[in-house]
Structure 1
Amino acid sequence: MEQEKQKPSRLEDLNQYEIVVQRLLERGVNLEEIAEITYDLQKKYIPELTLEYCLIHVGKVVKKREVQHAVITGLELDILAEKGLLSEPLSSMLLNDYGLYGIDEVMALSIVNVYGSIGFTNFGYVDKLKPGIIGKLDEEGKLPGKCNTFLDDIVGAIAAAAASSIAHRFSK
């Protein structure tokens, strides 16, 4: 009889969480910057909202396995593009954040999908406006040899998902 593969334990998920947080830091993003975007998305709807509460929800989002997988995959693709380890035409599409590529947004939508339709609208909003760290990453990604094609959308998706999580908690 074939041995059944074991599911990752909660401890493994938490270890992967630490890896994701570290990789985001290595790419110039900390969870507090993501929480600031989440706060800006929700503050007009929830006057008592705090940045600390937003940070808790950002952490909850990043602890989800589906989110961790998307972050790890997207960051790895950006890094491989920077190192010139992807073949053409994908390499050029990522290094130039080709407008019609769209897979970066699709991956980001897999993150917000965890939290329902409000996540989609929040993501669309931050993807268009590029507030805070998202705008910085977008601009930095235009520098020669730098690729943030997935990173800026991942950050926006995490912020949007956290905002959605908060909205669900406060809905009446």
Structure 2
Amino acid sequence: MNDSPINNSKNLLLKGLEKYGINLEDMVDTAMELCISENKEDVRLKLKEIMLRKLEDPNLLILMICALKLEEEGIKGNLPFNYHEDPNYIYIDEVIGMAIANEISGTKGIFNFRWYDAKKPGVIGILDKKGCVFLDDAVAGFIAGCMSKVFE
């Protein structure tokens, strides 16, 4: 096993997501729920390849790990707002989701993020219903950004 900082961070992120019941296949399935294409199997294969490649990007990993750690701190009550109420004056979760989408595919990713965030398919909706303030938007940003890359 390669103990590079990238692999360590990727493993930290993937293990952290697994605690919330999310894996890579779930994210691919979620992305495909809003896919409009005649070649869905080709899209699915390309999407998974892009997701795996993007999980090697240190900037993306840092953003995703930040969302994961913020979720953990919110659950513990260590954030400067009532995490369990998810107040509407807190919008940094949306900013994180848009930053992730933007890091992957620029403005197209941000617009696609808004679509996934509004529709809340698959694991995004599950995380939202569980009250995950940060991870639903981070995962939506990751999925939206990667899906936007598929069609470039």
**What is the correspondence of 1:14-163 to structure 2 with a 5 Å cutoff?**
14-44=7-37, 46-86=39-79, 90-92=80-82, 94-114=83-103, 115-141=105-131, 148-163=132-147
Query: d(CA) in 2 for partners of 1:111 and 1:45?
Result: 27
Q: Secondary structure at the match of 1:29?
A: coil
Q: How many residues align?
A: 149
Q: Which has the larger radius of gyration?
A: 1
TM-score (norm 1): 0.78
Measure the CA separation in 2 of the matches of 1:47 and 1:83.
41
Q: Deviations over 1:37-67 (max 9, x none)?
A: 2223444264552534322222222221111
Structure 1 or 2: more helix by fraction:
2
CA offsets 1:73-129 (integer angstroms, 9 cap, x no match): 11111111211233xxx230x322222311001111111112122101110001111
Q: 1:49 to 1:40 in 2, by over 3 A?
A: farther
Alignment partners' CA distance in 2, 1:158 and 1:47 = 19
CA distance in 2, matches of 1:42, 1:85: 38
Q: Which letter maps to 2:50? A: H
Q: Give the gaps of 5 or more residues in structure 2.
A: none
Identical counterparts, % of pairs: 28
Runs of 4+ in 1 over 6 A off after TM superposition: none
Change (3 A) 1:29 1:47: closer
